[in-house]
Chain A
Amino acid sequence: MLDGALPVLDVRDLKTVFKTRGGEVHAVNDVSFSLRPGELLGVVGESGSGKSVTMMSLLGLLPSPPADVRGGTVMFDGKDLLRVTPEQLRTVRGGKIGFVFQDPMTSLNPVYQVGFQIMEPLRKHMGMNKRQAAERAQELLELVGIPDAKRRLNDYPHQFSGGMRQRVMIAIALACDPQVLIADEPTTALDVTIQAQILELMKELRDKLGMAVIWITHDLGVIAGIADRVMVMYGGQVVEHAPVKELFSNPQHPYTRALLKTIPKIHGARSARLTIIEGQPPIMTGAPTACPFRERCDVAFDRCAVENPPRYDLGEGHDAACFFDARTGEPRDA
C-alpha cells in the first residue's frame, strides 16, 4: 500500500437528493472518501444504500431532474469534477476514469460489433486512427483473456457468453489507460465459477496496470477476497470504513457486525439458525436528523434518535459512524 501518497480521487461531503412527488429522497448524504493510487476500495451495501448513486453522482451520470447533486467536492487530476464543464467531464469519463456496470447484457450495444465498441473510446479520447485503434482493441481483448481476439472483434455482443461480455466491458473500461476504474457490481449477474474467473482477472490487471479500483458490491465474500480497504454504506451514508482485515476481524458499527453474522458460511461451523436483522432498510425521505440504522440496531439509545452520528476516527484508518463505542461497550461522550 502506498500510504501517504496523494489520493488520485478525493471525494468530500458529496450530497445527492432525488426530487420525487413524495418529497426529497436523500440518497447520498455527506459521503467522503479518498482513493490512493493502485489500491482497491470495496464499497458494500444493500440495494438503496446509495453506493451506486454515489459513483454516478461523481461522474455526472444522473439525469437532473430528478437528481440534484447538491454539494461537496470531487477532486480528480487537480480539478473538481462537480464544477467542470460537461465537455471537460466527457473527456474524463471513459478516459482517465473507466467504469464497468453490473449487467453486461444491457451495457453493450447489440447492433455494433464489439470491435467497434472497444475502438470508440480509443478514437474519441486518444485520437487514434482506425488501424491503430483496431490493433489496440485486439491487444485489449487479449489482455482480458478472450481467445482468438482478432476474429472476435468482428462478433456482435450476442455471440459472447455473459462472462465473456463482462470481459469485453472491462476491455472497454481499460481502453484509455484509466487511473481509476469504477466497477459497479461487475460480477453480480455472473455464475460463481465465472465470477471467480473475473475476480482473478481483475487482481492480475490491477497488478499489471497499477490503476486504482472502486469495487461496488453487496457480497461481503467478494470484498474479502479482493479489496484493500472497505467502505460500508447504509441509508445513503458511510457507516464504517476500514482496512479489509480490520473490518472483518474487528467490525465496529452494529450494522457491519449484524451483516457479518447474518450470512451463512461455506466453511467452518454451521449455525443451527441464522441471525437476522429485524425490519427493513430505511427510505431516506427528508434531511437525515437521526441515525439511519437506529430502528434495526441492538445498541441504539436516545441520542441515536435525535442526532445523526458523525464518523468517529478509531485510528489506523478505521472509522465508524456510531454513538456507541463497541470497544468500551458504552456510549461515546457527547
Chain B
Amino acid sequence: MLDDTKKPLVSVKDLKMHFPIHAGLLRRRVGEVKAVDGVSFDVFEGETLGLVGESGCGKSTCGRAVLRLYDITSGSITIDGREIGATPQPALRDMRPTMQMVFQDPQASLNPRMTVEDIIKEPLDEHTKLSDAEKREKVGELMDAVGLNRKFAKRYPHAFSGGQRQRIGIARALALNPKFIVCDEPIAALDVSIQAQVVNLLEDLQEQFGLTYLFISHDLSMVRHIATRVAVMYLGKVVELAPREGLYADPLHPYTKALLSAVPEPDPSLARATRRIILKGDVPSPANPPAGCNFCTRCPAVMDICKRVEPAYREVQPGRFTACHLYNETTNTADETAG
C-alpha cells in the first residue's frame, strides 16, 4: 500500500500527554490521567488519516497535542520537516499558519459577537500584512470555496444553521493556506442529511488545495468513507493502524473487531444476521490503566501474557500496525526477557 514516493507530512513519535491530578488540602499531585500514552503515527502528504475510538480514549487530546495546543509531556512531533514537540509556545507562532484545526461544536468555536467576515479575517489580521481590501477579497474567496453566500458576510453566527456554521469554521481554518488540518469530530453535532454535505466539502477542499487531514471521529462508517488510513485508539494508545480497506475487511486487533461489529448497520437482514461481539464492562480509568495490555480487562481473546506484558506496537503486515500479543508469536520470548 505504501509506495516510496509518499512522504510523511506529519510524524508523531511516542507522544505522551499526561494531565496531573491534584488532591487534598495542599493540592499535591497524587497521580496523572494518561490521556495519550505513547502514540506514534505518520500522516502522509495529501492523505486523510482517520483517528477513531470511543469517548475518553484520548483521540481529541491526541489531535490537540499534535498541534501543540497543549504543552506535551514527552515525545516528538515533526510537521512539514520541523520538530515542534518541545518548541515553546511563542516560537510556534510562525508554524501556526501551516497547521489548523476545525472544531467539533460550531456553536462554541465561533465568537457570537463577531461577524462572519471578522471571524474568517482574524487569522489574516494576526499572520499577514494584507491591506483591508485584500483581506476582504480573500474572505470573499474563502466563503465561495466553502459554499457560503458572500452576501452573508456581515451576519453573526446565530443567523446560520449548524451545517453553515461548520462551513464558517472550515473557512477560518483555510484562511492561511494551511497544509495540515486536524478535524476534531467536525460532523458529530450535525444532522444526518447535513453530515454528507460537510464531508463532501472537506473532500473537495482537500483536492483543490492539496490538504492533509487528521480526521478524528467516533463514526466508523463515515471514517470508512473519508479516510485513506485509519488509526484506532483505546485508552490512550493506538491499538491498530492500517489502510482503510484492510482495516474494515479484516481487522486484526480484538478491540477493532468488537468496535466494528458494534456499529449498527442500516440493513435489517444484515443487522440481524451478523453476530455482534458484545464487550463486557466499561473502559478502565486512564488514571489507573490495567497492567499489561490496556484492553486485557475486556478482551474476548485475553491470554495470560496480556495481563503481565504490554504488547509492543509494531508492523505485523506491510503497512499494518497493531499492538497485540496474538500477532507476537515470533517475539514473545524476546519481549518477556526484555520486559
Chain A partners chain B: yes
State whether B266 touches A221 (Cβ < 8 A).
yes
* Residues of A close to B267: CB separation below 8 A: 224, 248, 265
Complex Cα spacing A193 to B254, Å = 13
Known interface pairs A191-B55, A266-B224; A197-B279 also in contact (CB < 8 Å): yes
Complex Cα spacing A5 to B221, Å = 39
Q: Which one of B196, B266, B269 contacts A274 once the chains associate, using CB atoms below 8 Å?
A: B196
Please tell me which stretch of B4-12, B79-87, B255-263, B307-315 contacts chain A, meaning at least 4 of its Cβ atoms lie within 8 angstroms of it: B255-263
State whether A270 touches B266 (Cβ < 8 A).
no
Tell whether B45 is near chain A: CB-to-CB under 8 Å. no
User: A209-249: which have CB < 8 Å to B?
Assistant: 218-225, 244-245, 248
Q: Which 5 A-B pairs have the closest CB atoms?
A: A221-B264, A191-B54, A225-B271, A196-B262, A264-B225
Known interface pairs A224-B268, A264-B224, A266-B221; A192-B54 also in contact (CB < 8 Å): yes
Q: Which one of A193, A194, A195, A218 contacts B192 once the chains associate, using CB atoms below 8 Å?
A: A218
- Name the CB-closest residue of A to B279: A193
- Name the CB-closest residue of A to B270: A267
Q: How close is A39's CB to chain B, nearest CB, in angstroms?
A: 15
* Residues of B close to A159: CB separation below 8 A: none
* Residues of A close to B269: CB separation below 8 A: 245
Contacts A/B (CB < 8 Å), 5 sampled = A197-B278, A224-B267, A225-B271, A270-B224, A277-B193
Complex Cα spacing A260 to B203, Å = 21
Complex Cα spacing A225 to B263, Å = 10
Complex Cα spacing A164 to B283, Å = 12
Complex Cα spacing A270 to B196, Å = 14
Complex Cα spacing A196 to B265, Å = 12
Tell whether A163 is near chain B: CB-to-CB under 8 Å. yes
Q: Residues of B with Cβ closer than 8 Å to A?
A: 54-55, 161, 163, 191-197, 199-200, 203, 218, 220-222, 224-225, 248, 258-272, 276, 278-279, 282
Complex Cα spacing A296 to B194, Å = 12
- Name the CB-closest residue of A to B258: A193
* Residues of B close to A271: CB separation below 8 A: 225
Complex Cα spacing A21 to B13, Å = 56
Complex Cα spacing A262 to B276, Å = 24
Other than A263-B221, A271-B225, give 6 A-B pairs with Cβ distance below 8 A. A193-B262, A224-B268, A225-B268, A262-B193, A265-B266, A280-B161
A155-188 vs B, CB cutoff 8 Å, 1 = contact: the mask equals 0000001011000000000000000000000000
Tell whether A47 is near chain B: CB-to-CB under 8 Å. yes
Q: How close is B175's CB to chain A, nearest CB, in angstroms?
A: 25
Q: Residues of A with Cβ closer than 8 Å to B?
A: 46-47, 161, 163-164, 191-197, 199-200, 218-225, 244-245, 248, 258-260, 262-267, 270-271, 273-278, 280-281, 296
State whether B266 touches A192 (Cβ < 8 A).
no
Q: How close is A261's CB to chain B, nearest CB, in angstroms?
A: 9
* Residues of B close to A262: CB separation below 8 A: 192-193, 195-196
Complex Cα spacing A225 to B90, Å = 52
Q: Which one of B225, B260, B261, B263 contacts A221 once the chains associate, using CB atoms below 8 Å?
A: B263
Q: How close is B311's CB to chain A, nearest CB, in angstroms?
A: 20
Complex Cα spacing A158 to B245, Å = 40
Number of interchain pairs (Cβ within 8 Å): 124
Complex Cα spacing A163 to B263, Å = 16
State whether A221 touches B271 (Cβ < 8 A).
yes
* Residues of B close to A278: CB separation below 8 A: 197
* Residues of A close to B161: CB separation below 8 A: 280
- Name the CB-closest residue of B to A189: B55
* Residues of A close to B192: CB separation below 8 A: 46, 218, 220, 259, 262-263
Q: How close is B205's CB to chain A, nearest CB, in angstroms?
A: 14
Known interface pairs A262-B196, A277-B196; A196-B191 also in contact (CB < 8 Å): no
State whether B264 touches A193 (Cβ < 8 A).
no
Q: Which one of B222, B259, B282 contacts A161 once the chains associate, using CB atoms below 8 Å?
A: B282
* Residues of A close to B193: CB separation below 8 A: 46, 258-259, 262, 276-277, 281, 296
Q: Which one of B55, B222, B279 contacts A264 once the chains associate, using CB atoms below 8 Å?
A: B222
State whether A276 touches B265 (Cβ < 8 A).
no
Complex Cα spacing A191 to B126, Å = 39
Q: How close is A67's CB to chain B, nearest CB, in angstroms?
A: 23
State whether A266 touches B268 (Cβ < 8 A).
no
Q: How close is A274's CB to chain B, nearest CB, in angstroms?
A: 4
Q: Which one of B194, B196, B261, B264 contacts A199 once the chains associate, using CB atoms below 8 Å?
A: B264
State whether B265 touches A265 (Cβ < 8 A).
yes
State whether A219 touches B268 (Cβ < 8 A).
no
* Residues of B close to A296: CB separation below 8 A: 193
Q: How close is B221's CB to chain A, nearest CB, in angstroms?
A: 5
- Name the CB-closest residue of A to B269: A245
State whether A266 touches B220 (Cβ < 8 A).
yes
- Name the CB-closest residue of A to B164: A280
Of listed A191, A195, A223, A262, residue having the most chain B CB within 10 A: A191
State whether B163 touches A267 (Cβ < 8 A).
no
- Name the CB-closest residue of A to B199: A274
State whether B191 touches A221 (Cβ < 8 A).
no
* Residues of B close to A164: CB separation below 8 A: 282
State whether B262 touches A192 (Cβ < 8 A).
yes
Q: How close is A123's CB to chain B, nearest CB, in angstroms?
A: 30
Q: How close is B201's CB to chain A, nearest CB, in angstroms?
A: 10
State whether A244 touches B268 (Cβ < 8 A).
yes
- Name the CB-closest residue of A to B245: A270
* Residues of B close to A197: CB separation below 8 A: 278-279
Complex Cα spacing A5 to B39, Å = 58
Known interface pairs A274-B200, A277-B196, A280-B163; A222-B54 also in contact (CB < 8 Å): no
Complex Cα spacing A220 to B191, Å = 12
Of listed B218, B221, B259, residue having the most chain A CB within 10 A: B221
State whether A191 touches B221 (Cβ < 8 A).
no
* Residues of A close to B265: CB separation below 8 A: 221, 224-225, 265-267
State whether B263 touches A266 (Cβ < 8 A).
yes
